Structure 1
């Protein structure tokens, strides 16, 4: 039975991936969630269907919603504030980068927040840890969006996407020039943030049809990858929600990156980082030094930047307790984590081999275990310098298993690196090392944050990575203590407990509350413009003198062409064009041999141009007010309203005035322009507003550049 449900779920997911607003698929998926006991997910889908479904399904859905709202689980869900979490790295993706987000998600409900996670559908190149899925709270909404592939054909999409956040035309032009000039290096130049930027583009493009942002209280994005923040930036801009950006590592100041500060990539990244930091309502980092860097280098107010360190989860150690009782046959040093960049154990391995060579430690009495992913060049070095064969490399382990294994250690090895730039690095594993109650030898710069932490908690010693004498002395001392049977009992003190993940989530949610409270209310309200405003616009030709162009040369031509395809399918089409503007669409209609047409616009200047453009049919155009015009009482079966409804405060009233059963074809934008009183961020927004008055058959999307879209909607005016 469970196998069959999984298959059904997979089929439904594929269907909704291509058509997220299909009410039939949504209804079946909601029913499946009911069977699985995922009542919150079911309730959310029923609410969505209630906003967009046609009349025949609506009554059944309303009964479902009423039933659900009597449940304690749904009452609790409704009470909690909703935070949208943008996290490419999320289970089943494993590794150290996933822990911070996973643990926040795990504990958010305890502090009256409901996480809604947006993550990648699947990722081939990162380690998997399916055991982490068990830590995700029951019935959490997780939206998994497929990562798109891209090549040179999509370069313009990249440029437009970056331009919207860089906000520097000159820099963007330089970048576009380099991108076109160096086609052989397309991938290196195209992925300015990281290779996950195509996923961020998909999130920004698709999430609005999946999630109803009216119910979202806060957006939280976490990096790496830094593309998560690109998505956060655009979603705040589109939906006007408060946004917190959480940097697990600094970006252009990342101590593990060696960036060419003269390169176009660095300049683009720096500008993006600057604008992300300034547009965020709060910036989080994992260390005080990182916070100071952001405040000083980007001139941010001190109260805008906050440090919430990484930590450990007490629940992870329940299964670890008691696992470490047996004494090792060999003095065992264990390193947990990945080896890459400057996280290189070479000096440590040389030091231990020297102790063996000096006959201070017998080779048969010592073992060094490295547990995790190892870059090939580091692996080759290890093989060449491990003269006595004491290194044992174990592949990536599920998280809790790696902790159990590390609890066997007689000494835990932590490697940060040698560069002074690494003083600010607070690797997540150091906090788990503290909780394991084992002595630690860490390799990081003198006066680093890690050194301060280890000394403060009395958990071990820190050495500079090249200090072979210091390393040898401490390893030997630890070995001799082990050999004599000694093992100091280390306690979990208050200095360590403050790094518990539950406590850190409490701090995070207090920050959420503060940001939501201080976020300015959405006072966007625009009144309709007078006809004189549009008269001036048409007299000057509009943006780039578009109104003087032939219809085939405007950016609306694809929209109008699709509209003509629809109209040609309507038997004996008789059209009224409300807001006919400069008569360009009318020109296309006449060129297609259709003359049952009448057009009105309340700009007399627009009507002048329309009559000149369509001189043969000049008597079919009239300056008139759509709210009071007699044209809507005349005989017609098709109404077109191109770029009209977004200008009207009483748009729904106008549609209700139209003839019941008539075809309605209208277009609306996803952007603000002078004269707009609203715009639409998604097809879901359109359905929520207009499905009460129009049976909507289809919504087509047209990209017109720089992240701007036109939605073309076709339906039939509902009966009175």
Structure 2
């Protein structure tokens, strides 16, 4: 059996879609004669926890841990709340406070590529021994944090291994980079590190065609698109009695669907039954500006904030909802962002209302699978009309889907593609 070393920062009990990607790959790799060995930090500073995910770790998987020194513990002395927010990747959307400006500037210019950089050298030293003892021929790194890829870079220089770098998100083109107050020197350093990683790795994995096209301008190395996906978790669940529209995940200012809120307001005024039976669920972090927009449109009584839920509870909420809301920032730089929740939305079998940028890859998947409807952020009237059409169908008990082709996104199929791609070639 081909033994593969997987290096990841996020692992249960951490929560979020980045954890689930490799948790599920590890679950199915044994089906394809690959034995994963997982390397994670021993004492990480995870901003979100989901202890239920620990139960999903396959039995008997070898998990290696090594201490990590993170600066967030020290920074939290200044402001624990703001440090936790920034460490989780939530960049303030309003004009940042003085403390936030300092934290962002320090985060951007002192910790390149990110605040987990101090784990790189100790990990290279520790894993070098493991590679020799275990006879490991393939190493996989997954980021962000992209400092994890620097561990792969160091190991590649020391050992005859196949190194596969998995990018769950882009590096220098990701939206929050512009918020980090990077100096020109820091920007150059990021670019150099990105180029070094892309050209030193033997193979690259990305989650969207957009990122693949971007990386093809930097490297000639093989690049394969392997999206996120869903697992067999669908249960027999009764739908909500209300006309429930649910959004799962962080909903911050730039993703705020202002025209959606306006469309909801108009629909309420036009249809008394819609007004009585509407319920909107926000599962995850909702920004202050989003809640202000809700208030401005007089929708507070219809919106229920559930906060962060465990993955199992999220799945139940998806399957009970009448409509699932998928949102992305209205920007050219986000057209390649395919949220991990999209694939669980597909598996839930409920109509997806997708609102995002032009040529959005996630929107294309919704259309290709016949899983819902896609709109731009400014389509107020069209949004209102669709909502009322779906509502009338819901009243008849016939709001269902005939989606197609979603099995290609099952975690087992995606792992099969991964296994074929990383197959070791001794020559």
Q: Secondary structure at the match of 2:188?
A: helix
User: For the residues of structure 1 that align with 2:118 and 2:253, how far apart are their CA atoms?
Assistant: 25
Partner of 1:517: 425
Q: Secondary structure at the match of 2:326?
A: strand
Compared with structure 1, are the counterparts of its residues 450 and 256 closer, same or farther at alpha carbon in structure 2 (3 Å cutoff)? Answer: farther
Partner of 2:330: 418
User: For the residues of structure 2 that align with 1:184 and 1:382, how far apart are their CA atoms?
Assistant: 28
TM-score, reference length from structure 2:
0.86
Partner of 2:247: 335
Aligned residues between the structures: 398
Q: Point out the more displaced range, 134-143 or 260-269.
A: 260-269
- CA deviation after TM superposition for structure 1 residue 483, in Å: 1.7
TM-score, reference length from structure 1:
0.52
Matched, 1:446 2:367: no
User: For the residues of structure 1 that align with 2:346 and 2:271, how far apart are their CA atoms?
Assistant: 31
Partner of 1:482: 394
Compared with structure 1, are the counterparts of its residues 459 and 150 closer, same or farther at alpha carbon in structure 2 (3 Å cutoff)? Answer: closer
Q: Point out the more displaced range, 208-217 or 192-201.
A: 208-217
User: For the residues of structure 2 that align with 1:108 and 1:387, how far apart are their CA atoms?
Assistant: 46
Q: How does 1:58-77 map to 2 (within 5 A)?
A: none
Q: 1:496 is matched with which residue: 406, 411, 424?
A: 406
Compared with structure 1, are the counterparts of its residues 122 and 395 closer, same or farther at alpha carbon in structure 2 (3 Å cutoff)? Answer: farther
Partner of 2:205: 284
Matched, 1:272 2:193: yes
Partner of 2:172: 252
Kept in 2, the 8 Å contact 1:261–1:267? The answer is no
Partner of 2:82: none
> Relative contact order (C-alpha < 8 Å, sep 6+): which is higher?
2
Question: What RMSD over aligned residues (CA atoms) do the two structures have, in Å?
Answer: 2.6
Matched, 1:313 2:231: yes
In structure 2, stretches of 5+ residues that fail to align are 73-101
Partner of 1:127: 48
Partner of 1:457: 369
Larger Rg: 1
Q: 1:117 is matched with which residue: 38, 45, 48?
A: 38
Matched, 1:91 2:30: no
Q: Secondary structure at the match of 2:320?
A: coil
Kept in 1, the 8 Å contact 2:354–2:374? The answer is yes
Partner of 2:80: none
- CA deviation after TM superposition for structure 1 residue 489, in Å: 4.8
- CA deviation after TM superposition for structure 1 residue 273, in Å: 0.4
User: For the residues of structure 1 that align with 2:253 and 2:420, how far apart are their CA atoms?
Assistant: 36
Matched, 1:394 2:302: no
**CA offsets per residue over residues 101-123 of structure 1, 9 Å max, x none?**
11101111111111111112243
Q: How does 1:572-591 map to 2 (within 5 A)?
A: none
**CA offsets per residue over residues 517-554 of structure 1, 9 Å max, x none?**
16x6xxxxxxxxxxxxxxxxxxxxxxxxxxxxxxxxxx
**CA offsets per residue over residues 89-135 of structure 1, 9 Å max, x none?**
11110111111111101111111111111112243442111111122
- CA deviation after TM superposition for structure 1 residue 485, in Å: 2.5
Kept in 1, the 8 Å contact 2:253–2:289? The answer is no
Q: How does 1:137-176 map to 2 (within 5 A)?
A: 137-150=58-71
Q: Point out the more displaced range, 275-284 or 347-356.
A: 347-356
Partner of 1:295: 216
Kept in 1, the 8 Å contact 2:246–2:318? The answer is yes
User: For the residues of structure 1 that align with 2:375 and 2:18, how far apart are their CA atoms?
Assistant: 25
Q: How does 1:657-672 map to 2 (within 5 A)?
A: none
Compared with structure 1, are the counterparts of its residues 386 and 505 closer, same or farther at alpha carbon in structure 2 (3 Å cutoff)? Answer: farther
